[in-house]
Amino acid sequence: MLDLKKIRETPDAVKEGLVARGADPAAVDEILALDAVRREKTAAVQALQNERNATSKKIGAAKKAGEDTSAIQAEMRALGDRIAALDKEASEVDERQRAILLALPNLPAPGVVPGGKEANQVVSVWGEKPVFEGFEPKDHVELCTTLGLIDYDRGVRMGGNGFWLYRGMGARLEWALLNYFVQEHLKDGFEFILPPHLLTYECGLTAGQFPKFEEDVFRLKEEGFQFLLPTAETALVNLHRGEILEEKDLPLKMFAYTPCYRREAGSYRKEERGMIRGHQFNKVEMFAYTLPEQSEEMLQLLIRKACRLVEGLGLHYRLSKLAAGDCSASMATTYDVELWIPSMGVYKECSSVSNAMDYQARRGNMKFRRAATKKSEFLHTLNGSGLATSRLLPAIVEQFQRADGSVVIPEVLRPFLGGASVIEPPAK
DSSP alpha helix (H) spans, 188-237:
201-207, 232-236
Residue 62 has pLDDT above 90, yes or no: no
Beta carbons of 284 and 255 less than 8 angstroms apart: yes
Residue 275 has pLDDT above 70, yes or no: no
Return the pLDDT at 427.
77
| Element at 42 (helix H, strand E) | helix 26-64
Listing DSSP states for 154-197 in one string gives HHHHHH-TT--EE-THHHHHHHHHHHHHHHHHHHTTPEEE---S
Q: Residues 30-40: what's their mean pLDDT?
A: 95
- CA of residue 182 relative to chain centroid, distance: 20
Ordered structural domains, the chain, with CATH: 4-103 (1.10.287.40), 117-423 (3.30.930.10)
Residue 264 has pLDDT above 80, yes or no: no
CA atoms within 13 A on the CB side of 238: 21
Return the pLDDT at 267.
46
Q: What is the pLDDT of residues 327-367, one digit of tens each?
A: 999 999 999 999 999 999 999 999 999 999 999 999 999 99
Q: What is the pLDDT of residues 233-255, one digit of tens each?
A: 999 999 999 999 999 999 999 99
- Cα(108)–Cα(3) distance, integer angstroms: 14
Residue 266 has pLDDT above 70, yes or no: no
End-to-end CA distance of the chain: 60
C-alpha separations of 191 from 45, 247, 288, 303, 423 in Å: 49, 18, 10, 18, 33
Residue 271 has pLDDT above 80, yes or no: no
Return the pLDDT at 55.
81
- Cα(374)–Cα(347) distance, integer angstroms: 48
Residue partners of 342: CB distance under 8 A and separation at least 6: 129, 130, 132, 137, 398, 399
DSSP state, residue 108? P
C-alpha separations of 284 from 12, 338, 407 in Å: 39, 16, 24
| Element at 10 (helix H, strand E) | none
Residue 165 has pLDDT above 90, yes or no: yes
Return the pLDDT at 56.
81
273 band by pLDDT with thresholds 50, 70 and 90: low
- Cα(211)–Cα(102) distance, integer angstroms: 7
| Environment class of 196 (CB within 10 Å of its CB; exposed 0-12, middle 13-18, buried 19+) | exposed
| Element at 287 (helix H, strand E) | strand 280-290
- Reference 168, options 146, 136, 193, 195; nearest CA is 146
296 band by pLDDT with thresholds 50, 70 and 90: very high
Return the pLDDT at 244.
98
CA dihedral 12, 13, 15, 18 (to 10 degrees): 180
Q: What is the pLDDT of residues 202-223, one digit of tens each?
A: 999 999 999 989 999 999 877 7
- Cα(409)–Cα(127) distance, integer angstroms: 17
Residue 277 has pLDDT above 90, yes or no: no
Residue 276 has pLDDT above 80, yes or no: no
Residue 68 has pLDDT above 90, yes or no: no
Q: What percent of the chain has pLDDT over 90?
A: 84
Beta carbons of 6 and 101 less than 8 angstroms apart: no
Q: What is the pLDDT of residues 351-409, one digit of tens each?
A: 999 999 999 999 999 999 999 999 999 999 999 999 999 999 999 999 999 999 999 99
